[in-house]
Amino acid sequence: MIQILYVNFVSLRDESLVRRAVFSLPICENMHLEERECRRDHNGILANTAVTKSYRSSSVHLKTSCGQVGMHRIDSMNSSWMTRESLLNLNCTNVILDRSMFIQSDLLAFLKKWQKTTDGSMERIKRMEIGVLNSVSPLDLKEVGGRPWSAKRRPQWFEYWDCCNGIDIKRADGEWCTVLQRPLNTFRFVVWKNLNNP
């Protein structure tokens, strides 16, 4: 198994051999791909290669249901390739999706699914940041029982994110998440593991 694969397609002279090699990998722990522009011939990478820990791309355009691969981290500087179905199937610890095409209904569908899911299929999610190309008006979180922050319920800080202006949502199994919607082109979602508060 490959532990770390880093490919900088920008600096290669004959990239076709490298592309074929990357496409043929059955499993890789950590994959980092750099390229100046989106390429259609990258569509098969995550479909053919099981990335078990982290995937990072500078601008690679992939169409796949990557959340089902079971990675710990996805970091994509151009996530316009990601579909609503892929978002709803994510189960990664840390997710950064910049320049996505998601709209309000996609983000609300994700929250509704997280709130109802207690079978472990979204258990690994810890932190998510999604950048949207167009400003998304703040979501109405009343549908999912959103509540303003309370110091009695959870801490103000989640790692380096100040969550005092976030909206908290409780899942049926008692787990809490916080949604941060500032600035308007950023959607942040964090899960507070092992909080046993009301």
- Each residue's pLDDT tens digit, 19-46: 677 777 778 777 777 765 544 445 466 6
pTM for the predicted model, two decimal places: 0.74
Residue 101 tokens read as: 């095409």
Which residue is associated with the tokens 């029982």?
145
In whole angstroms, give the CA distance from residue 33 to residue 61: 11
Q: How confident is the model at residue 67 (pLDDT cuts 50, 70, 90)?
A: very low
- Candidate from 15-29, 91-105, 172-186 with smallest mean pLDDT: 15-29
For residue 50, pLDDT over 50 is answered with yes
- Candidate from 69-73, 97-101, 159-163, 175-179 with smallest mean pLDDT: 69-73
Mean pLDDT estimate for the chain: 80
Handedness of CA 167, 144, 193, 77 (dihedral sign): negative
In whole angstroms, give the CA distance from residue 184 to residue 174: 28
With vertex at residue 78, the alpha carbon angle to CA 56 and CA 38, rounded to the nearest 5 degrees, is 95
Q: What percent of the chain has pLDDT over 90?
A: 34
User: Going by C-beta distance under 8 Å and a sequence separation of 6 or more, which residues neighbour residue 125?
Assistant: 90, 91, 92, 93, 95, 114, 189, 191
Mean pLDDT within 157-176: 93
For residue 127, pLDDT over 90 is answered with yes
Residue 155 tokens read as: 């801490």
Backbone angles phi, psi at 86, to 5 degrees: -65, -40
